[in-house]
Copies of this chain bind each other. A is one copy, B any other.
């Protein structure tokens, strides 16, 4: 039964909502679409109406100049080109919108498009242009090969934008616009993560404080106060703790003193607390701090620290979750430390799983933006690629695959080199999403391979060594061992590999051919030269054609590197082997942690290695394809809510600092035009 119809004549579509009466009582407002499309252009080729031809200049102007020369389309046009109705998204100004999860329901019957992940060779300080290639490939597929395409990217951290790094929206003629929206605030997801992470941190210290000063009964009387009718009740989240404790009573009045103690006293061991506060600012002075020094905190000081927000487990949860209900469960089961008895304490034990979900309820919706050439981009989640899995969100990819449909393409990017980013893409992200890529693109450059072949060190601020600017085929060939290992590693997953050679003007034909040959010898489906930095999508047409062929010619089923039901150590060792390691060495601390997580029942989780991205090994200086080394595991930690164990191979910085002259010196607002200056 449909009643209470509300109609909206939107820019493009007559749509509305109606109250759907549930036969069991109650009602729920549902979306409805009249299908009266008033779009301009050919409805059969909707996507084309948003495309934009670039006016290419040579030499390539600065990223800002290119971005500012293009007037972005109102984002509703891009949404319409994807078949979305206005009720499928929330506008955030003119150039961003949040695509709602209801799209998954409404497009449930659609088949998925092709799924392409862009990874890289082992990164060097020279930069390989992985994000730029991801955007350029998408522009080629959309604007030149007339396919439906969506690019799924990570949201960059705002903090580093003001430090050394500048923006992260691609480069040259392959960028996401508007650049300042992409780099700053976006639609508030990282701010929500900051708020949620810090609320949990505050709740931990406050709980320790209140437990230290109150008896079991006093605590209990506060948790379950008498209501107007002289009765006590449990709130919903309390039943989660009761269930965990095996207490199956529904009235607080029925609890025995022993049960009251177990229920009301978490008895958190302050030294076991792994949950840290976060901030989306490069603030090195917060790396290690002492809290609780105020006179009212009664001397309960504790050493802890802040990480940058994107390193929060909540970011990893956002990236791996599949629905609101799933996110509620993951947030609730995040482990913040142990009780003194060694039991893991969760956010739900603290009563916070629901409140954290409320804080994150809008963040779960991916943000729609556009490339320079007018193809759609979903920006969503940006977890660290070492202590987390470094991939954009599962929900964005799922939505995108439905929206592009059969024959369309979803192009996403995996952080760091393929040994880390693509490995985690498959073994963690795809494992949780159930999705399968048809093609892995590995981005390589001649100059980076020269460095892997033994080229001289590159020092920021110093002119580039001639080795990188003049022909040296032997150096390139020597460095191709790195590319070769990445290609063959990816082949073991049963996925077609296309190598994208991101060309620089100083590269010679012989050098480029050397890379092509190495790639093909290693079993790549194809290896293609591309110039999307200088030419936008046009410069990646050959890459697009190769990727399309690779997707159309899948011959095997995808395989994981390891099953989940082997031990934590066996999983670590499987990954280490893919790095070329001869074995793994565990510190005493690592052994202890593995034992603890195993006894706590977390051994079934996938593994997320926190290793340097600059080498296959643990030693950043070892370029090329080192082998035979013993991989040292310094410590082992876990993100139980996100759903992985992360061994630490060396130490990972989770809070960057500001240099002497941060780039904020150049950033300003033109207060007359409202335009951002100096952000690049």
Contacts and interface: CB of A to CB of B under 8 A. Distances in A.
Interface string A205-228: 110011000100001001101000
A355 B667 contact: yes
A662 B282 CA distance: 31
B294 A293 contact: no
A10 interface: yes
A352 B158 contact: no
Q: Chain A's interface: helix, strand, loop or mixed, by majority?
A: mixed
Contact of A225 (B235, B297, B354, B661): B661
Interface string A313-333: 000000000011101100000
Contacts of A678: 235, 354
Interface stretch (A53-61, A90-98, A115-123, A535-543): A90-98
B90 A205 contact: no
Nearest to A100: B674
Contact of A290 (B289, B664, B666, B674): B289
Interface residues of A, number: 103
A202 B352 CA distance: 29
A286 B219 CA distance: 23
Given A657-B206, A664-B355, A289 B287 contact: no
Interface stretch (A358-366, A566-574, A575-583): A358-366
Contacts of A214: 660
Contacts of A355: 162, 664, 667-668
A94 B87 CA distance: 9
B294 A162 contact: no
A201 B666 contact: no
Given A237-B665, A324-B674, A195 B351 contact: no
Contact of A293 (B93, B288, B679): B288
A267 to B, nearest CB: 15
A452 interface: no
Interface string A172-211: 0000000010001100100110110011011101100110
Interface in A626-680: 657-662, 664-669, 671-674, 676-679
A658 B11 contact: no
B357 A665 contact: no
Given A223-B660, A293-B288, A671 B206 contact: no
Contact of A668 (B91, B198, B237, B294): B237
